[in-house]
Chain A
Amino acid sequence: MTWSNIKWVFLREMRDQLRDRRTLFTIAVLPLLLYPLLGMGFLQVAQFSRDHPTTILILGDDALPASPRLIVREEGTPEDGRFADEFCEQKVARLLELKIRKQRSAADLGQAREAVRTGEFDALVYFAPDFGKKLDAFRARLLKRSPSSSSTDRLDRSAEQDAVDLAELAVPEPQIFVNTASDKSRIARDRVERILRSWRESIVQDNLEKNDIPVAATRPFGLVNTDVARERSRRAAVWSKILPFVVLIWALTGAFYPAVDLCAGEKERGTLETLLCSPAQRSEIVFGKLLTIMAFSMATSLLNLLSMGMTGVFIISQLNRLGPGAMQVMMGPPPLGSMGWIVLALVPISALFSALSLAIAAFARSSKEGQYYLMPLLMITLPLMMLPMLPTVELDPGTSLIPVTGMMLLLRSLMEGQYLESLRYALPVIGITAICCLLAVRWAIEQFNNEAVLFRESERWDLGLWIRHVVRDRAETPSLAEAIFCGVMLLMIRFFASFLVGMPDGWSRFATTTVVTLIAFIAAPALLMTVVLTRSPRKTLLLRMPRPAAIPMAVLLAIVIHPVGVALAEGVRWLYPFSNDMLEQLEGVTGLIADAPGIWSLLVVLALAPAICEELAFRGFILSGMRHMGHKWAAIFASAVFFGATHGILQQSITACAVGAVIGYLAIQTGSLLPGILFHFVYNSLTLLMATTIPEWADQHPAFRWLYSTGPEGLMYNLPVLLAGGLLAAAALMWFRSLPSESSPEESLQDALDHQTAQPALK
């Protein structure tokens, strides 16, 4: 790879994009005009926005007590009225139109409710005919027990008796009927509720006065909040939640559209083939284009930020001028330091989004097809951007390892001035972003090397033709698309089955459910697809004997790698701790396992059955199909991801994914499913034994203490055992590496491409 070629590709693409009026408009002109225009619109709309009046129906006002008076009737018009001034501010009173009706029969309430439902009234306040009487009785009861009442009365009744009587007295309840499907109705409800609370407050005060209790008695202590945050930090805290999201979303959008033009657009215009015939290597073309996309991604993001910030500051100042208040405290202009951090964080994040967009855009046949891929890309990245906005999500070892989320959280903590915390997590965040970037770039280069992607032509899709193609043109092993389809289908079946099956209540039901689920929902679909979609079930499911030594080696590997697996699971649990609900569920499963009649039944249900069924599906059908990708490790990883994902719980999925990768490697190196099945069986058996029988053995036989010690999470391998296990596992894997493995045609071709000779510089 030569930098001069990358530079020439970059310069050309930049010039090309800068000469495109549409790109310039979207990247530079639109953000500069959009926000001021939106701001102007917002201010204009704000002038017109006002509180809408709401109509309230009061039913049964004759049941209300005379004092304190809640409703004042207008003279002359018997149906009109208003809430008494002392409970309703004039500003609110103007927005409330009251219609007052007496309740003549029980049917009146039904009609009134219907009137709220149909929208004739926004809310109904109903006072039952006995409302006044109940309220009076309640107040009278209070008076009887007051210290100012006659002392003989007081002596007759104990304090406890008073309390019981009061509790038994029915508290009158005015009812508010609201139509929650209508915003206006909900606003009316809120307004009325405030007024009724104020009225109740007045009755409480009155009661207290009559009982000679000072009003202050209801407030034995006050609450004082003191904000110790500096004004700068307060502003940073507000902006640190908004700006990272804005920056990231624009970085993605700004990367995607140029990427589509630079890849799919070039394919469409026929210039890509011209470029591919030039001496520039695919990687040089990809990096040149990547730098261009990055430049546009960063420019879009920064220009949007600038324009939005300036418009925002202007609008805030305008709003503050209209009415000073909370707004000024909440939203000052963003501190300048924050902007510096944003610009710095924009570089890796733009690189990641640009590489992703480039790879996706390279896959598209045309610009139009490219546009369709924006939505899936957003669907994947948006949750990662939204996650940090949840109030409880903070930068910790777990979140720092999530791509995009970690970067957003790091940016937030930098903007909030928490430099020490940021420094602690900067390395994992940057590391994971860099890894994702490299993978995305690698994927993009792959796309540029993949002639099926570069010269894909639009074919008329026809269901009949397609079914005929799938059946007629069956290959020996499944295609990549069929393998992905199988993986996705198994995931979906597992998802829906988990709702159908539920939590069994005893061991025998648990055992039956587990085995039936494994056979019906994992093995059967994979076997069915093997029979229907492939010509060679033997080759697809790797049904052949490995070399004899591979069998004991697989068993040995499972034993020596188990301490590493347990340590990994422990590490994952430390990074992403189980929630309390999940712990309860897991305890339920542990309880069921404890009910198992014997260790053998446990091993058959939870070790042998998964080993056979899951291996047939994941290392059989799915891995065979994935090998058409042309990369052994990508195939292993993809099948392991599906294997991990079917475990359902994130923490278990990560560990299962790692174990799945090891089994996938065994399957490819030995060309047989058997070592994988044995490994899986032994590995699961060891895990089960550690949870059930080994603790008992450890008590009885001191030799076990060399291997295990009891930690807070149960039995753990001792550190020397872990280290020795790791070393032996590495040695065993090296032995598997030395086996002559068979490559798929795609892998052989890729191997040849990977060993292409680099060109000498032309003098």
Chain B
Amino acid sequence: MIKVRELTKAYSDLRRGPFVALASISFEAQAGQIYGLLGPNGAGKTTALRILSTVLQPTDGSAHVNGFDVLTQPSLVRRQIGFVSANTAIYDRMTGWEMVEYFGHLHGIEPEPLRARMESIFTRLQMNETRDVLGGKMSTGMRQKVSIARAIVHDPPVLIFDEATAGLDVLVARALLSTVDELRDQGKCIVFSTHIMREAERLCDRIAILHRGHFLAEGTLAELLEQHQEPDLEELFFRLISDHDSASEKQLVAS
């Protein structure tokens, strides 16, 4: 479903100068699987997912979603994905229904099938109370439900969740995670980025630990723990990151 090969993204800013946000990462994610990108803030998770959603262009390497290239076939890629992140806000001056309908229209769905699909989504996500509420007046939970409904209105085979639980209270976050679980059960390929260990442990079929643009480890939870002889994901995460940081420091001193 998703094939990422040596994906690289370089930026330049005033403080750091030119720097590599993603250093040649590669991974594959299959249908019916939740692929977790685990990493601290600034690890490159959002950059990687923005490239997958065609909002950013890679500096090097390639990424294919359901067979379509993110650089040369972005419109086709966007039809294959639903993207939910803390950054994808909803319109303040549109009701929940209007918002989801708008994205349905942009996906080219005819009015009648769209209506039926929306009715089913609104019922499944228990969000009928958001139908006539303007985005600006919605609670965080309602907004998150509208975001998910907007992302799945066209029934995409791939869903990307970028730190989707950030800033949510426990109840809303739990509801979101169970929705993600349900979507996996429906056979969707899901990429889920987070910096919360428990979410990754609970949800993800495969996990990649990302730090400063590099993949430090990649595999199923069991494989990772066995390979690195650590009792749990949190311990593994801290060890890999501190090993990487001290190696980088040594390299810097040597150079």
Query: Which A residues form the contact surface with B (CB < 8 A)?
Result: 2, 4-5, 8-9, 12, 15-16, 19-20, 269-271, 273-274, 276-281, 451, 454-455, 459, 461-462, 465-466, 469, 472-473, 749, 752-753, 755-762
Contacts and interface: CB of A to CB of B under 8 A. Distances in A.
Contacts of A274: 88-90, 147, 150
B174 interface: no
Which has the most chain A C-beta neighbours within 10 Å: B12, B78, B88, B106? B106
A668 B15 CA distance: 33
Nearest to B58: A749
Contacts of A761: 108
25 contacts: A4-B108, A9-B106, A12-B94, A19-B134, A20-B93, A270-B89, A274-B147, A276-B55, A277-B53, A278-B107, A279-B107, A279-B108, A280-B106, A455-B56, A462-B14, A465-B14, A473-B12, A473-B17, A752-B71, A753-B71, A756-B75, A757-B72, A761-B108, A762-B108, A762-B154
A279 B75 contact: yes
A282 to B, nearest CB: 9
B27 interface: no
B85 interface: yes
B139 interface: no
A455 B85 CA distance: 15
Contacts of A269: 89, 91-92
Given A279-B107, A459-B14, A749-B57, 6 more contacts: A9-B106, A15-B98, A16-B91, A278-B106, A465-B15, A762-B109
A356 to B, nearest CB: 25
Interface in B1-34: 12-15, 17-18
B75 A759 contact: yes
A279 B94 CA distance: 20
Nearest to A268: B89
Interface in B128-163: 134, 147, 150, 154
Interface string B73-99: 111101101010101111111100010
Given A270-B88, A459-B13, A472-B17, A762 B56 contact: no
Contacts of B150: 274
A762 B89 contact: no
Interface centre among B53, B105, B147 (most CB of A within 10 A): B105
Contact of B103 (A278, A451, A473, A752): A278
A25 to B, nearest CB: 15
Nearest to A749: B57
Nearest to B18: A473
Contacts of A749: 57
Contacts of B89: 269-271, 273-274
A19 B93 contact: yes
A168 B88 CA distance: 92
B73 A8 contact: no
Contacts of B75: 279, 281, 756-759
Nearest to A270: B89
B106 A756 contact: no
Contacts of A757: 72-73, 75-76
A749 B72 CA distance: 10
Given A8-B105, A755-B72, A762-B154, A451 B81 contact: no
Contact of B15 (A8, A281, A451, A459): A459
Interface in B98-116: 98, 102-103, 105-109
B55 A277 contact: yes
B110 to A, nearest CB: 9
A281 B23 CA distance: 28
Contacts of A2: 108
Interface string B39-77: 000000000000001111100000000000001111110
A708 B113 CA distance: 75
Contacts of B13: 459
B55 A451 contact: yes
A762 B79 contact: yes
Given A269-B89, A473-B18, A756 B74 contact: yes
B83 to A, nearest CB: 4
B184 to A, nearest CB: 20
B219 to A, nearest CB: 29
Nearest to A750: B57
A273 to B, nearest CB: 5
B65 to A, nearest CB: 12
Contacts of A759: 73, 75-76, 79
B94 A15 contact: yes
A564 to B, nearest CB: 39
Given A269-B89, A279-B106, A762-B107, A466 B14 contact: yes
For the complex of A and B, list the 10 residue pairs with the smallest distance between their C-beta atoms, beginning with the closest: A270-B89, A759-B75, A473-B17, A762-B108, A277-B83, A274-B88, A19-B93, A8-B105, A757-B73, A278-B106
Contacts of A454: 55
A277 B109 contact: no
Given A273-B85, A273-B88, A758-B75, A469 B107 contact: no
Nearest to B151: A277
B106 A5 contact: yes
B193 to A, nearest CB: 15
A12 B71 contact: no
A451 B56 contact: yes
A630 B186 CA distance: 43
A16 B95 CA distance: 11
Contacts of A15: 93-94, 98
A758 B79 CA distance: 12
A756 B57 contact: no
Contacts of A465: 14-15
Contacts of B78: 277-279
A16 B93 contact: yes
B131 to A, nearest CB: 16
Nearest to A18: B93
Nearest to A462: B14
B218 to A, nearest CB: 25
Nearest to A449: B57
Contacts of B79: 279, 759, 762
Nearest to A474: B17
Nearest to A274: B88
Contacts of B81: 277
Nearest to B17: A473
Contacts of B103: 278
Contacts of A278: 78, 103, 106-107
Contacts of B106: 5, 8-9, 278-280
B14 A273 contact: no
Given A273-B88, A277-B83, A473-B18, A16 B55 contact: no
A404 B155 CA distance: 48
A600 to B, nearest CB: 49
A263 to B, nearest CB: 14
Nearest to B92: A269
A758 B134 CA distance: 34
Given A279-B78, A279-B108, A759-B79, A273 B55 contact: yes
A12 B99 CA distance: 9
A746 to B, nearest CB: 11
B201 to A, nearest CB: 28
Nearest to A459: B14
B246 to A, nearest CB: 25
A8 B92 CA distance: 17
A169 to B, nearest CB: 80
Given A279-B107, A752-B71, A757-B76, A461 B93 contact: no
Contacts of B107: 278-279, 762
Contacts of A280: 106
A469 B14 contact: yes
Interface string B167-200: 0000000000000000000000000000000000
Contacts of B53: 277
Nearest to A451: B56
Nearest to A21: B93
A469 B72 contact: no
Contacts of A752: 57, 71-72
